[in-house]
Amino acid sequence: MTSQPPQGSTHSGSSTTTDQSPVPPLRSLPGSYGWPVVGPFLDRLHFSWFQGPEAFFRARMEKYKSTVFRTNVPPCFPFFAGVNPNVVAMLDVKSYSHMFDPEIADKRDTFLGDFMPSLGYSGGQRTVPYLDTEETKHTQIKRFGLDILKRSSKVWISELEANLDEAWAKVEADVSSKGRAKFVNPLKLCMFKLLIKCFLGVDVSESPEIAESGVSIVDIWFILMLLPTISQNVFQPLEGIFIHTFAYPSFLVRRGYNKLADFIRTRGHEVVQRGVTEYGLSEEEAVHNLFFMIGFNAFEGFNLLLPDLLNQLLSDQTGLQDRLRVEARQMGGPVLTFDSVKQMPHIRSLVYETLRFNPRVPLQYARARKDFRLSSHEASFDIKKGELLCGYQVLVARDPVVFDDPESFKPDRFVGEKGTELLKYLIWSNGPETGTPTESNKQCMGKEYVVLTASVIVAYLLRRYDSMAGDGSTITALEKVK
């Protein structure tokens, strides 16, 4: 089975604006960084412990009567001496859109703010998320990644369906024998096998060790690398002491990381060499960027999206499953493809709304490349060159000026002419949904694959089952189609 690669908008840029209204009046930038050491430390406690990220930003937005203000975002003191936590927070669509303008937004080493994990987590390489569009390596690696995705479209759907068959057969067996089943781990293995096949052109079964431990290798690598920036606010004060106080050294993941990197280097040799000969990368650059693309951008991205998406489908009490099941079975023809799910607007809208309501990457950063004037819906602010901009997508995606009833999950929000118009304000992919990833912007190169793959999975399940019941990550009942 083959499928045409997903096509995005013909618009190649990533800029978006909320309207064509005049520039709002100039205002001095509110907020404060507080006393040195003390201010960042107190903000860290509020951000990670006393309030949590969402309440932290909401409280300051209310205090300053502005969606743009100065504050501190961890990690910071005491063991992050070289990290400056001072940021300009942007919490509405209009101000946040400045992040997509490469003329003013420098993305060099700002993927996680002013904090950057040890290069030991990426084989000594600055991988593409840490590169700015003005760096030659960004262009080379982005083109390499886009080429891999284009080539993978020939097998993406057939591999996805084969792995879904295996994953849901396991879920069905567990429901039958135990009365309930966790779907997260089977789904993780499904996506890992898919991504190895599509990115490297090989079956993960070629290495029994990677087939057995690959998922856990990536999960542990991902978590330890990001621990200083993750705020769960569950086991306080232990979380604050052991997670947000220092960065975890990369040697903790080195053994597993090297195993998977060696698998990419040897089993994916043809793809690695294409990066070298056609895109001017060194072998190490190709290997470790492939690791990052597969492990971070794709695998962990799907791991964050899919359980949330399926939970929305399972927990709905309004008849959503039945409505979407009709669309899945009546539209798109007998065989699922990227093109067929484009004929299922309500299923795609469910995916879009899941991405809006719970963005996969809550915080996005950029450094001001030059002095410029930043506008929110209500005011303009002078930003100085070098200031770190921070957008909190959870609130940006709930901008009440743009989205009606933004705090409610509405699965049909993006259906119809008005819904389609809202897509230019959906910014989960480091750019508007109407934009197209290119080597000249920082938009997620797999943006179209994420939405369409998630849509295919929903349609697959609705065609496979007449009913599904469960909550969270647990399936309690499945009725296969007769």
Quote the tokens at residue 192: 């890992």
Q: Is 198 annotated as a binding residue?
A: no
User: What is the signed CA dihedral for 138, 141, 145, 148, rounded to 10 degrees?
Assistant: 150
Tokens of 70: 């100065």
Helix (H, G, I), strand (E, B) or coil at 46: helix
* CA 4-7-8 angle, 5° bins: 165
Contact 171, 181 (CB under 8 A): yes
Which parts of 7-88 fold into alpha helices (H)? 38-45, 53-64
For tokens 């997508």, name the residue: 393
Give the pair of three-digit tokens for residue 371: 């002095």
One-letter amino acid for residue 270 of the chain? E
Contact in structure between 152 and 199 (CB atoms under 8 Å): yes
Residue 386: CB atoms within 10 A of its CB come to 11
Q: Which residue has 């106080």 as its token pair? A: 245
Cα 209 → chain centroid: 28
What is the Cα–Cα distance from 60 to 118, expressed in whole angstroms? 32
Q: In whole angstroms, how far apart are CA 122 and each of 159, 169, 197?
A: 28, 35, 21
Q: Which residues contribute to the annotated binding site for heme?
A: 444
What residues are designated binding site?
444
